[in-house]
Amino acid sequence: MPEGRGHCACPITSLTLLVSLTRMTLDILQELDPPQPAHWRHRLLLYKKGVYLSHTGGKLFWVLGLLILCGFLWTRKGKLKIADITDKYIFITGCDSGFGNLAARTFDKKGFHVIAACLTESGSTALKAETSERLRTVLLDVTDPENVKRTAQWVKNQVGEKGLWGLINNAGIPGVLAPTDWLTLEDYREPIEVNLFGLISVTLNMLPLVKKAQGRVINVSSVGGRLAIVGGGYTPSKYAVEGFNDSLRRDMKAFGVHVSCIEPGLFKTNLADPVKATEKKLAIWEQLSPDIKQQYGEGYIEKSLDKLKGNKSYANMDLSPVVECMDHALTSLFPKTHYAAGKDAKIFWIPLSHMPAVLQDFLLLKQKTELANPKAV
């Protein structure tokens, strides 16, 4: 189970801590009970008299005390914050709606100099109407390399010698979410262009500014980057984001730049609009061959929708857990490498990602709609 504080969790950091504490415990046990030359019969006699049990109990008491102290210090460490956020600049992509929009409004209220990238003019106008004059917006299509370069130069002029304290790569799209054999290469290309290459493009262009400030890079991935929950380009794009995030984190360590990855569970946003997803599925269904339609059955999409309605209770309605993770990654003196956001992510998806494939398949296949005639090939 990933360890976390509040709405944030970090399974990799927790594992590292557990290994370190285990090694420390073994070292302490060895110091407290060094090898003795006494004959084994003498040991057995002491054990029967209760002396050995008493000695072991004393050791365990000290080890337990040490573990409690380490836990307290670890929790305390996570609460230490940076100072003077009012002179720091942050750049956020995908601010038209959802996580990015809430993050821009939240960090503007906290006093950051927020530069919010929106895809549409209407999104930019609406955001400026809800925020202070300090917040700036810019129109950005992360898939347009020239647009990204121009934006990076504009941001450089805005931040000056201070550099960019925070880069939050939030922009993303789901693409078509459908069975793999329904899709074409183009169906995969769109979400990968936005979610992966767009994120990399923005990062590479903004990185010199982040290095100047010795700041933070925060990449918004998904539990879909840990488990292949649905077919389509979304999952491969998020798996790749996880890999890029890890290599970037290690490369930036020497520059004093912290890199974090946020893995939200299922949240109710425009990104996860079931109506739009269904419309895309229906459009693809009309183009499928008669063989595939026979295999899946005419009522497949309707059955999938019924199953989706039964799982609506798992979706997080409150978007703030994701923004709280962003906040910790931006302002903590000791930001975490990975954050899980949402109860479903922490309780189900992330733990399941560590389980054997046979268990993952069993649980995830139970959520899939049964095919009408899979043998009709």
Contacts 24+ apart (CB under 8 A), 73-80: 74/17, 75/5, 77/333, 77/334, 78/5, 78/328, 78/332, 78/334, 78/336, 79/5, 79/332, 80/332, 80/333, 80/334
Residue type at 226? Answer: R
Helix (H) or strand (E) holding 8: strand 8-9
Tell how strand 4-5 and strand 8-9 pair up: antiparallel
Among all residues, which ones are annotated catalytic?
234
CB contact set of 10 (below 8 Å; sequence gap of 6+): 2, 3, 4, 336, 337, 338, 339, 340
Contact (Cβ atoms closer than 8 angstroms) between residue 210 and residue 95: no
Nearest to 203 by CA among 250, 149, 253: 149
